[in-house]
């Protein structure tokens, strides 16, 4: 059984729902031995026009104060988690950097403010576009073009490289309406290969995110084909995370993610402590 979860959001994140006490209790009840708390930082300011279908005002508040409150509360939650964890659970205070290059000075200011033990990088939306979560509300968008832009942005993030693992590479597919879903991903094969090859060259990890297994997609993000391709292109480091926003989702489907990694040819996953990967057999 894999007992390492490296993508968990507390109630410090604008979309987090779980108090830290519930997260730690859930992790311990499920036998986890390693937990990375990765609350959101989004460098792009929230635009109200893209959130008209969302009653959650936390994103606007976070953007308005440039995530100072989120980062403060996230760090306090991490310190509290360490107190609650006991000897059998290692807690690492990490961060998920969303669209880190959209305001690079601010991103680097955030990274300098705390000694994060694990850094995820992600892209939840293209510049001046809504989060892919809201795609169903914007039928006028050309999804093929938006996905072109998305994978270009990911490549630029990997070029920057100041993170440990690239989160949910196929994130947009989690939310594309079924009637607009591309029949295949061949259009982006070259872009995806370039991302994977550069990750491997830089010694960075690829995340296998299990949220898609419980959010309607039915597969991890990315799926087996892409994880196997990462291995073929020289990738060595894999992280696995539940992307939990609720306490009950902490540790969800980790073993299924590990089985996929084994099928792709990996024998180890990496857990990060103090920014250094420690390999764990799967």
Q: Under 8 Å CB-to-CB from 192, ≥6 apart: which residues?
A: 151, 169, 185, 226, 229
Q: Do residues 146 and 123 touch, judged by C-beta distance below 8 A?
A: no
Confidence of residue 263 (pLDDT cuts 50, 70, 90): very high
pLDDT surpasses 90 at 45: no
How far is residue 4 from each of residues 82, 205, 281, measured CA to CA in Å?
Answer: 16, 15, 11
Tell me which CATH code domain 4-281 carries. Answer: 3.20.20.140
Average pLDDT over the chain, rounded to whole? Answer: 96
Note the pTM of the prediction, 2 decimals: 0.97
Q: What is the pLDDT of residue 47?
A: 85
pLDDT surpasses 90 at 105: yes
Q: Under 8 Å CB-to-CB from 121, ≥6 apart: which residues?
A: 96, 97, 100, 157, 158, 163, 165, 166, 167
d(CA 97, CA 111): 9
Spell out the domain ranges in the chain: 4-281
Confidence of residue 178 (pLDDT cuts 50, 70, 90): confident
pLDDT tens digits along 46-77: 888 888 788 888 998 999 999 999 999 999 99
d(CA 121, CA 98): 6
């Amino acid at each position: 059984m894999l007992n390492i979860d490296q993508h968990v959001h507390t109630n410090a994140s604008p979309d987090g729902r779980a108090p830290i006490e519930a997260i730690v209790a859930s992790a311990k009840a499920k036998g986890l031995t390693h937990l990375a708390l990765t609350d959101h930082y989004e460098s792009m300011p929230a635009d109200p026009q893209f959130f008209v279908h969302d009653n959650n005002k936390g994103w606007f508040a976070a953007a308005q104060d440039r995530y100072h409150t989120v980062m403060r509360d996230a760090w306090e939650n991490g310190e509290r988690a360490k107190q609650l964890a006991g000897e059998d659970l290692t807690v690492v205070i990490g961060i998920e950097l969303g669209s880190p290059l959209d305001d690079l000075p601010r991103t680097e200011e955030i990274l300098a403010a705390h000694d994060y033990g694990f850094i995820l990088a992600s892209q939840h939306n293209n510049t001046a576009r809504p989060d892919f979560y809201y795609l169903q509300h914007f039928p006028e968008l050309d999804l093929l073009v938006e996905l072109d832009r998305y994978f270009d942005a990911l490549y630029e993030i990997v070029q920057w490289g100041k993170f440990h693992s690239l989160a949910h590479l196929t994130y947009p597919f989690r939310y594309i309406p079924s009637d607009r879903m591309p029949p295949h991903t061949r259009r982006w094969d070259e872009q995806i290969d370039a991302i994977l090859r550069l990750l491997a060259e830089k010694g960075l990890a690829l995340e296998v995110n299990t949220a898609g297994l419980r959010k309607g997609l039915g597969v991890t993000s990315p799926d087996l084909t892409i994880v196997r391709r990462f291995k073929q292109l020289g990738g060595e480091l894999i992280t696995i995370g539940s992307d939990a926003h609720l306490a009950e989702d902490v540790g969800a489907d980790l073993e299924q993610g590990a089985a996929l990694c084994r099928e792709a040819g990996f024998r180890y996953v990496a857990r990060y402590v103090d920014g250094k990967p420690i390999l764990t057999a799967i």
